[in-house]
């Protein structure tokens, strides 16, 4: 299966037709994507800054309550991102900014799994103001750096080509 086969698959979908025939869908998706990104990154900043020790005044248990917000916001971005790509797949799948953004999102997902499966439960047992383990701090730092990179790459998509 080639990249063009993937582009043709998306172009032939009913979602593609729906998006290009309804003028309001793409701007709505852009708005929802921005709001989702804001909620997701904001939630991750609360969690990651607490884990890094930059926000010790926040209880770790309270910081972890932002995880569902981040997951819901990521889901919104996943759906709207799918709509973007489906609207003009040739513009996206050959675009280096988009390709690198997808790579970074996969890295972010692996990092999130490492956090959830390896550190999450231990962090919930920390007392208020207690330092997180070094491994958890590495995960938090990687999270912040990767998501900043995703944001930058997303903004580069209109300005990069294949």
Structural tokens at position 16: 């593609």
Cα(149)–Cα(162) distance, integer angstroms? 19
Quick one: pLDDT at residue 33? 97
What's the burial of 138, exposed, middle or buried (CB within 10 Å: 0-12/13-18/19+)?
Answer: middle
Structural tokens at position 139: 């995960």
What are the structural domain ranges in the chain?
3-159
- The pTM score is 0.91
Cα(44)–Cα(49) distance, integer angstroms? 8
Residue with tokens 């209880």: 59
Quick one: pLDDT at residue 6? 87
Quick one: pLDDT at residue 143? 98
Q: Residues of the chain whose pLDDT is less than 70?
A: 162
DSSP for residue 115: I
Length of the chain equals 162
Cα–Cα separations (whole angstroms), residue 137 to 68, 71, 145: 20, 20, 12
Structural tokens at position 136: 């958890």
């Amino acid at each position: 299966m080639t990249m063009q086969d993937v582009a043709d698959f998306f172009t032939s979908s009913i979602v593609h037709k729906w998006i290009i025939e309804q003028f309001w869908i793409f701007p709505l998706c852009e708005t929802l994507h921005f709001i989702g990104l804001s909620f997701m990154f904001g939630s991750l900043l609360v969690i990651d800054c607490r884990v890094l020790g930059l926000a010790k005044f926040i209880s770790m248990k309270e910081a972890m309550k932002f995880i569902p917000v981040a997951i819901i916001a990521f889901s919104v971005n996943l759906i709207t991102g799918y709509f973007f790509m489906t609207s003009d797949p040739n513009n996206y799948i050959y675009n280096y900014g988009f390709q690198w953004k997808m790579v970074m999102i996969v890295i972010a997902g692996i990092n999130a799994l490492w956090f959830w499966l390896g550190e999450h439960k231990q962090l919930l047992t920390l007392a208020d103001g207690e330092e997180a383990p070094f491994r958890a701090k590495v995960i938090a730092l990687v999270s912040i750096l990767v998501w900043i990179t995703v944001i930058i790459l997303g903004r580069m998509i209109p300005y990069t080509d294949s």
